[in-house]
Amino acid sequence: MIRSPLISVMTEAVTKAARSLRRDFGEVENLQVSRKGPANFVSAADHRAEEILRGALEKARPGYGLVMEEGGIVEGTDKSHRWHIDPLDGTTNFLHGIPHFCISVGLEREGVPVAGVIFDPIKDEMFIAERGKGAFLNNRRIRVAARNEMAEAVIYCGLPHLGRPAHRTFLSELTSVMSVSAGLRRMGSAALDMAYVAAGRADGYWERNLNSWDIAAGLAIVREAGGYVSDCDGGSDPLGTGSVCVGNEAIHGSLIGLLKKAARPATPAA
């Protein structure tokens, strides 16, 4: 496992925030029976975790900027580095008492994600990577899966939900990928989807209409696990476009081809 000062800063920050999330998750089941519901409570849990992360990261690297789900953008004196922070990725899962969510912290250096930590506090699984140093799950080195055929591949995806555009686009993509793959999964956490691809638990993943805090850590981890990353159109800036497609070389190439095919209008019958 990587023991650099940077990774130590990141893992210590997410470990502190995880204690708060674990406590709050233990209360969610009780809140399900209330008439008001747990939405306000979950929002507070989100903010508490983000405050812990921000405090720890600003103390360790005071000049770095921040891009946060709850707190917005904070410009730093160091214009080369920015943290991308998601204190609770998988909020809907958390809200419903489903134990599949995480804390995600990625570091961008001059526009490129160079380090990431994704921590699942319920399963006690920490995915980490730093540029040039490999990717790890706890103390074990991880690599993307070696399967090359879509017919053998399990693919993760994200479904557009209420308030998100592109339902028609997604349904076309879904049909295209579903028709040739071994199976599709929608797990509910973009960061964990990417971490699972890095660990070989899934063969590929795509999703549109994301934010930088959803994917910054995952991009670094997948790359260091030997994976290929792009946006859903094959472009080289998923962090900027907010769409992502990842997998090993073969599966990534196949996925991009299928997504492009789905985007083309059908040819009218003669």
Q: List residues forming the annotated binding site.
A: 69, 86, 88-89, 214
Burial group, residue 219, by CB count within 10 angstroms (0-12, 13-18, 19+): buried
Sheet holding 204-207, edge to edge: 183-185, 154-157, 204-207, 244-247, 228-230
Phi-psi region of 45 (alpha: psi -120 to 50; beta: other; left: phi over 0): alpha
Helical segments of the chain, H only: 5-31, 39-60, 91-95, 167-178, 190-198, 212-224, 238-241, 249-263
Q: How far is CA 269 from CA 35, 106, 168, 266, in A?
A: 54, 48, 21, 9
Q: How far apart are CA 21 and CA 44, in angstroms?
A: 10
Whole-Å CA distances, 133 to 1, 79, 253 = 9, 24, 25
Bridge partner residues of 117 (DSSP): 105, 128
From CA 197, how far away is CA 36, in angstroms rounded?
A: 37
Tokens representing 230? 């792009």
What is the C-alpha to C-alpha distance for residues 190 and 102, in angstroms, rounded to an integer? 10
Distance between CA 193 and CA 206 in Å, rounded?
Answer: 9
Q: Which residues contribute to the annotated binding site for Mg(2+)?
A: 69, 86, 88-89, 214
